[in-house]
Amino acid sequence: MEQKRPDAVQKVGIIGAGQMGNGIAHVFAVAGYDVVLSDLTQELADEGLVKIKASLQRSVDKEKMTKDEAAQALARVSAVSSLDDIANTDLVIEAATENEQIKRQIFEELCPKLPEHTILSSNTSSISITRLASYTDRPERFMGLHFMNPVPVMQLVELIRGIATNEDTFQVFKQVTDSLNKVTANSEDFPAFIVNRILLPMINEAVYTLYEGVGSVEAIDTALKLGANHPMGPLELADFIGLDTCLSAMQVLFEGLADSKYRPCPLLVKYVEAGWIGKKVGRGFYDYRGEFPVPTR
């Protein structure tokens, strides 16, 4: 059943046109919102738009929407390269790289450009919402809106209130996510929230299992797929998420909770140091440069 869009939100700004940002733009455009998709350069923003077009075409091919509906959705998205172009929006979602200092710089630069009514959010998968909100001029109108990857396919959105988030802001974000036909889970503002608090230590433990020689990449992934009925093995999933993102989330958990069980596996650190950060660069726990993925260990 199609949900009604809240009157308070007509135009949405999304900062970051990468894997998460273009997926978020896709679902908002399909739901009828006008979307401004921003990145550091026009080329990066345009690449995000190309990926949205391809994603919409897949929906057409699967008969989930018509060609006209896809064309209308694409027409609602504009790609820009300046935060100035985000200014005239009702809601902003920051979907930049999982680095707190980068996010802080974005919010400090963005806030003076925004009208007073604009509400803010971050798609961070692990960083404190309360702390991110403190970098803005409107912490009471800021909260976490954590989409899952790939955004057009995954049903869940985590809603995370910071200490200062007011009830009106929460209700608008709840209405917005409902209008996207997503299912929400409310999380308290603790490191990595719900999904990654559970998922990332499992991935980290899989890397330890590889590191300690308990099993090969292939054996570990096969064991979890067939033994726990997971659709994707943990190392394959880590490659899909990005090993840099996995490491960042584990560091947030380790530093935020001060428990040794969250210590990032040294092998995960080494892969990130090597630049082998997963599918997006062609190599991680698998090498994706050939016809079929091949385990790298």
Could you state, in chain order, the average pLDDT of each consecutive group of 10 residues for the chain (297 residues)?
72 96 98 97 97 97 96 98 94 94 97 96 94 98 96 97 97 97 97 95 98 98 98 97 93 94 98 97 97 96
Per-residue model confidence (pLDDT) at position 1 = 45
pTM of the model: 0.89
Active site residue 196: yes
Active-site residue among 22, 55, 59, 125? 125
Per-residue model confidence (pLDDT) at position 151 = 96
- 153 and 77 within one domain: yes
Residue 122 lies in a domain: yes
Active site residue 117: no
- 29 and 155 within one domain: yes
Active-site residue among 38, 128, 146, 204? 146
Per-residue model confidence (pLDDT) at position 6 = 75
- 214 and 141 within one domain: no
Per-residue model confidence (pLDDT) at position 113 = 96
Per-residue model confidence (pLDDT) at position 2 = 53
- 179 and 46 within one domain: yes
Active site residue 146: yes
Active-site residue among 55, 196, 204, 248? 196
Active site residue 26: no
- 180 and 56 within one domain: yes
Q: How far apart are CA 237 and CA 241, in angstroms?
A: 6
- 168 and 97 within one domain: yes
- 139 and 254 within one domain: no
CATH code of residue 114: 3.40.50.720
| Residue 182 lies in domain | 11-187
Q: How far apart are CA 189 and CA 132, in angstroms?
A: 11
- 56 and 31 within one domain: yes
Q: Are strands 183-187 and 34-38 parallel, antiparallel or unpaired?
A: unpaired
- 245 and 158 within one domain: no
CATH code of residue 252: 1.10.1040.50
Active-site residue among 158, 187, 204, 236? 158
- 220 and 93 within one domain: no
Among 163, 187, 211, the domain-final residue is: 187
Ranges of H-type helices in the chain: 19-30, 42-61, 67-75, 100-110, 129-133, 167-179, 195-211, 217-227, 234-241, 243-257, 266-274
- 118 and 183 within one domain: yes
Residue 3 lies in a domain: no
Number of domains the chain contains: 2
Residue 279 lies in a domain: yes
